[in-house]
Structure 1
Amino acid sequence: MAHRIEVEHGTHLFVEDIGSGQPVIFLHGWPVNHKMFEHQIATLPEQGFRFIGVDLRGYGQSDKPAHGYDYDRMADDLRVVIDKLDLKESVLCGFSMGGAIAIRYMAKHGGKGVSRLALMGAAAPVFTQRNDFEYGLPKENVDGLIDGAYADRANMLVDFGDLFFGKEPSEAFNGWFHSLGMEAGPHATIESARTLRDEDLRSDLHTIAVPTAIMHGRNDQICPFELAEQMEKGIEDATIIPFEESGHSLFHDEPEKFNDVLLQFISESVKI
């Protein structure tokens, strides 16, 4: 089943809703869409869970308004989806930028409807380096992505893919994944990159009051592993699950472990 949910006047999000049972909500990373979770779309309903895949505003099959690409607004969008679908006791799973939005949702909306949180290669608590935060990417690297999006977005995404995958994908997979990035609005891609560069979630972490799994690749070149350690320090009930053979794309680099850890976390508790 697919939904088009109006999150503010004239702006609708596309939401894939498959299966029944406990809801598991997926928030994708920059600049793709919910289709990146295709293995979870196939697996979770078979295991008795309800897959909820959200295309964030500006991405995939969702509307692409000119505004609203900050974490506050995207967290508000998620609140509308959770309320409209009446989701309760959900597991919220955020990858990369989606992880950052999930953190802001937990802080701003008190985690309404969410009983567990999975942060997967999350772009948090701060994506870029600053005077009081030595981790993450230099801000100029993100400026380079923005300049590349203006000049030749398709080629910029090819270059970004070289950093994204820890294990080289097949030509077919690489082409498919690149196409997901090209489904995004160019303005959404640029504005979200600015948000990634500038937002700071450090004060949000202590508000998270649910069990949290931090799934992170040891060799992540986009969201370095040190970010996972900073998140664990800030979230009271958090456990890091390192993916020793993964870069940023832990869902691709170690797909069986990714599904096993996620299913175990959804079902009961994380055991390393």
Structure 2
Amino acid sequence: MGYYVQVEQGVKLFVEDIGAGRPILFVHGWPVNHNMFEYQTTHLPKYGFRCILIDLRGYGKSDKPWTGYSYDRLADDIRVVIDTLGLDNVRLVGFSVGGAIVVRYMGRHRGHKIAQLLLLAAAAPSLTQRPGYPIGQPRANIDKIIAGTYADRPGVLAQFGEDCFASPVSTPFRQWFQSLGLEAANHATVAVMESLRDEFVGQDFPFIRVPTSIFHGVLDKVCLYPLALAQHAGIQGSVLHRFEKSGHGIFYDELELFNQRFFKALNDGH
């Protein structure tokens, strides 16, 4: 079932709501949309989970306003969805920039209604290197992506697809994955990449006081593996699941192993 939730005047987010039972809220990454999780949500309702997937503003079927792409605003959008749907004891899942946004949610909203946090190849504490933080991407790499998005967005998305997966994927799969990014607005694609470049969520780590599972591929070329180590060190009591053969596409590269560990973490609450 799909419907819209108004998160502020004139802005509605598309929500896909599948199954019944314990709620899981999924937050996708750049530059795709909620459909990226279909290889998990096809199965989870069989085990008593209600899968709630949002398209961030500017992406997928959601409204595409000109403004509102800071981590604060995107985290506030999640709060509105949770409160509008009356959710409680939520398992909150964030992939890539979605991981950074859910970390900001935990800090900004003090973990409101969240029972468990699951970070998938998360862009946290920051995607980008900065003084005192040498483990991310060089800023010039991000600026190149932004410039390319203005000039040839399909080309940038195609290259991102190449960089995303460490395991071979079929040509139709690659085309499908790229098509998810093409549904976004160009201005939103740029704006969220600017947030990825400029924002830092390490200060939000101390406010994460729920069981937290970190899933990260050693071969990740986008959110480099040292980010996972920083998350594990900064989030008290967190559990790190290391995937030796996975890249950024942690949700698909080692699909069977990932789903096994991911589903177990959801069931165990850690």
Q: CA deviation at 1:161?
A: 1.5
In structure 1, C-alpha distance between the alignment counterparts of 2:269 and 2:63, rounded to whole Å: 36
In structure 1, C-alpha distance between the alignment counterparts of 2:230 and 2:44, rounded to whole Å: 30
> Which residues in structure 2 correspond to 1:84-123 (within 5 Å)?
84-123=84-123
Q: CA deviation at 1:168?
A: 2.3
In structure 1, C-alpha distance between the alignment counterparts of 2:249 and 2:94, rounded to whole Å: 13
The answer to whether structure 1 residue 199 and structure 2 residue 199 are counterparts is yes
Q: Which residue of 1 aligns with 2:35?
A: 35
Q: Which residue of 1 aligns with 2:78?
A: 78
Q: CA deviation at 1:40?
A: 1.5
What is the TM-score when the length of structure 2 is the normalising length? 0.99
Task: Give the secondary structure class of the aligned counterpart of 2:147.
Answer: helix
Counterpart of 1:229, as a letter, is L
The answer to whether structure 1 residue 221 and structure 2 residue 202 are counterparts is no
Task: Give the secondary structure class of the aligned counterpart of 1:251.
Answer: coil
In structure 1, C-alpha distance between the alignment counterparts of 2:256 and 2:269, rounded to whole Å: 18
Please identify runs of 4+ aligned residues in structure 1 that moved more than 2 A. none
Q: Which residue of 1 aligns with 2:16?
A: 16
Q: Which residue of 2 aligns with 1:57?
A: 57
In structure 2, C-alpha distance between the alignment counterparts of 1:269 and 1:150, rounded to whole Å: 42
Counterpart of 2:36, as a letter, is M
What is the TM-score when the length of structure 1 is the normalising length? 0.98
Q: Which residue of 1 aligns with 2:169?
A: 169
Counterpart of 1:17, as a letter, is D
Task: Give the secondary structure class of the aligned counterpart of 2:42.
Answer: helix
Gaps of 5+ in 1: none
Task: Map Cα deviations across residues 6-64 of structure 1 (whole Å, 9 max, x no partner).
Answer: 00001000000011110011100000000000112211111110001110000000000
Q: CA deviation at 1:269?
A: 4.3
CA contact (8 A) 2:116 2:269 kept: no
In structure 1, C-alpha distance between the alignment counterparts of 2:120 and 2:40, rounded to whole Å: 13
Equivalent residue pairs, number: 270
Task: Map Cα deviations across residues 209-236 of structure 1 (whole Å, 9 max, x no partner).
Answer: 0010000001101011100000111111
Gaps of 5+ in 2: none
Q: Which residue of 2 aligns with 1:46?
A: 46
In structure 2, C-alpha distance between the alignment counterparts of 1:257 and 1:198, rounded to whole Å: 33
Q: Which residue of 2 aligns with 1:231?
A: 231
**Identity over aligned residues, as a percent?**
49
Q: CA deviation at 1:258?
A: 1.5
Q: CA deviation at 1:89?
A: 0.6
The answer to whether structure 1 residue 212 and structure 2 residue 212 are counterparts is yes
Q: CA deviation at 1:134?
A: 0.6
In structure 2, C-alpha distance between the alignment counterparts of 1:6 and 1:122, rounded to whole Å: 26
Q: Which residue of 1 aligns with 2:182?
A: 182
Q: CA deviation at 1:250?
A: 1.2
